[in-house]
Structure 1
């Protein structure tokens, strides 16, 4: 299996294609043969990326969330002020999740390894929102809220989004839910 340090341009392109495919169509129903056919490569090419379909899906999920995190953080560079930074951050998280179909999100929730990647990224994003809130309170831009509490509430909402509870309760997809969370936090603070 290729390591991250030795991943070739072709392998990165395959991961990008795989991510686009599974975001659009989910992954539980695919076999390695299906994926090889859809990606126009051999199964041996896929085995050079990962030792099994489960590992391939996990690595593709990591690839997706790593790229999404980089894009979300890059979006913060032009944001000025605590409210705008929080709004931009949460809306960017939602925007990165927008291509994810309901089927992908259902497969993600049902697959332990892929779900763990999403959970880890959700925890990271929740800590990042808490940092942004703390910075805003310390700078006097946000009311003197208990930043840890507000961050915890945001984290709880983000976990509910990740676990599909928000979608079931409200009908909002993940991207829409993050946009609503951004409105709630930036107008409530």
Structure 2
């Protein structure tokens, strides 16, 4: 396991101060000067690696937020099943991204292995993804069945009504309704 970065070993108040200075857009030298005033000594390269890590995490968060906003705008008025499918695809892409991510490194550029807990959480996420996909497919199938039944009943009712008005014999109407309803009258 890689050694913890010198910045992550600092007290939380100091790390918070570094974060505030980074958010203000201060240069590395300005941050180092501010830390020297707090009697904290870290190397410029450690601060640069930490800034790169923070920038990378911030970019991922911004990308995720932008993608979520775009998807909400695009699918905001879509039926639930399409939104559910979109969520499943989005989660699948995120999981695939995590698994295949070659940029999983700490602030010092060392590769970070996938720990057992993360592997378990990914496996759970994949399991939930599969269940959500099946539930969505089942919902779509059930909706189609119900829509087909409702359409057939409406068609049978129309056949019966029009047939009676036209003077078609009852046995013929019954046969037509059986044909429409698939044998169930």
TM-score when scaled to structure 1? 0.33
TM-score when scaled to structure 2? 0.34
Between Structure 1 and Structure 2, the one with more helix by share is 1
Larger radius of gyration: 2
Which structure exhibits the higher relative contact order, with contacts defined as CA atoms closer than 8 Å and separated by 6 or more residues? 1
